[in-house]
Amino acid sequence: MITIEEALEIVLKETKVLGFETVNILNSLNKVLAEDIYSKDNLPPFDKSAMDGYAIISDDTENASEEKPVKLKIKGTIKAGDFYKGQLKCGEALKIMTGAPVPNGADAVIQIENVEADNEEVAIFNPVEKNKNILNLGEEIKKGDIALLSGMTIRPSEIGLMASLGFSSAKVFKVPKMIVITTGDELIDVSEELISGKIRDCNGYSLMALGKNLQADVKFYGIVRDDMDVLFKKMQEAFEEGDIIITSGGVSAGDYDFVENCLKELGADIKFSSVAIKPGKPFTFAKYKDKLFFGLPGNPLAVINTFEQFVSPAAKKMMGKSDIHNKQFKVILGEDFKSVKGRTNYVYVNIEEKDGIYYAYKVGSQSSNQLLTISKANGIIILDKEMVKAGEEVNGRFIFK
Ligand code: AMP
Ligand code: MG
């Protein structure tokens, strides 16, 4: 049986970046930018007022004081969106709104709260510095300068920035089409009544949610009965349509575990079919026509664990992300833990921080069918030996990050 590290290395070796597409900026959210973006314009595109107030010539206010305010003649008003064609002269002021272009001749704006004014004149009580309350042309970014770097994950702020720079679309790395198939005669959909022997399919939902969490383009092919022919057809179809194909269940040694047989029949290249991981040992990885196939176990906890450990880094690599690995850190055990010999154990825990140190505490049964355990946990610890004592240091990480 191969180790987790060996398995991940094989998976990533077989994973290639998918390529690029140009999308509307709104659809680029959380995708990876595939080109450097240079500014086509200066931002701001003109000297603009940062305040509601009066555009003035700063030298006019040199001798202003409480006792002897300087009085300037108001020549008009400039709203945001307007453009004042004239030239401001000594002894004059223009009322100006936030965002409006500073008129020719003016070199400062005094805030409305700091003056006294009627319709004719504005009185100023203190000298105003040059450039006060003016956002200068090109202050944020100059025309031709680099604004965004290829490889970054696009956040809402980058979408806003692209809009202000006049880019309505962006070149991004493609996201994988992820097909999810759940297998098992015992499975019924969430909307159906529980009848004897049946259980609700939870893996279909958690897998789709895991895929969505990664921004993958997820499609659910539904529950497939434990029937070799039906499963074969579904898998064939999935390989036509998807970049990543995920099944749950049917990869163990049971009489009705057909996933591996289907892969063989299709001619897929099975790279490995079990990994020394708990939960998640029966786990098949195969490659077929440049598509990645992950045959996850049926147990719900094992599904989430193997997805996070193997599918997630592969999907991130496909979509051009540079930071594909789960971030680990040192955790001190808050109590004694037991684990299973010969496999790397991922134990779902509550990680608490005290004075900059992380501590791990139990949250419940680690039986691989108990999703309730994960819902009480915020992290996992990784155990390589059977008995680990309170106070020992191990690696851990937060989940769903
Ligand atoms: P299998 O790997 O198909 O033998 O399934 C292992 C265990 O996981 C069995 O107890 C199944 O009933 C359960 N299981 C399989 N698929 C699902 C699913 N989609 N949702 C919930 N439980 C499942
Ligand atoms: Mg099954």
The 3-state DSSP class for residue 282 equals strand
Take atom 15 of ligand 1 and give the residue whose Cα is closest: 298
Residues in Cβ contact with 311 at an 8 Å cutoff, skipping those fewer than 6 apart = 210, 244, 246, 294, 296
The tokens of 137 are what?
Answer: 């042309």
pLDDT score, position 12: 98
CA of 90 to the centre of ligand 1 (A): 83
Ligand 1 centroid distance, CA of 349 (Å): 23
Q: Distance between CA atoms of 50 and 101, rounded to whole angstroms?
A: 10
Interval 19-61: pLDDT, tens:
999 999 999 999 999 999 999 999 999 999 999 999 999 999 9
pLDDT value of residue 364: 86
Domains of the chain: 4-18+175-318 (3.40.980.10), 21-41+150-173 (3.90.105.10), 48-135 (2.170.190.11), 329-398 (2.40.340.10)
Distance CA 62, CA 124 (A): 10
What's the helix, strand, coil split of the chain in %, to 5?
20, 35, 45
Per-residue model confidence as pLDDT tens digits over 194-253:
999 999 999 999 999 999 999 999 999 999 999 999 999 999 999 999 999 999 999 988
Q: What is the pLDDT of residue 256?
A: 87
Q: What spacing in Å lies between the alpha carbon of 284 and ligand 1's midpoint?
A: 15
Cα–Cα distance between 167 and 310 in angstroms, integer?
36
pLDDT at position 385: 87
| pLDDT value of position 113 | 97
3-state secondary structure of 159: helix
Give the residue among 302, 396, 383 at the shortest CA–CA distance from 350. 396
Is the Cβ atom of 279 under 6 angstroms away from ligand 1?
A: no
**For residue 259, how far is its CA from the centre of ligand 2 (angstroms)?**
10
Give, as residue ranges, everything with CB less than 5 Å from ion ligand 2: 184, 249-250, 298
Contact 137, 119 (CB under 8 A): no
Mark the ranges of the chain whose per-residue pLDDT is less than 50: none
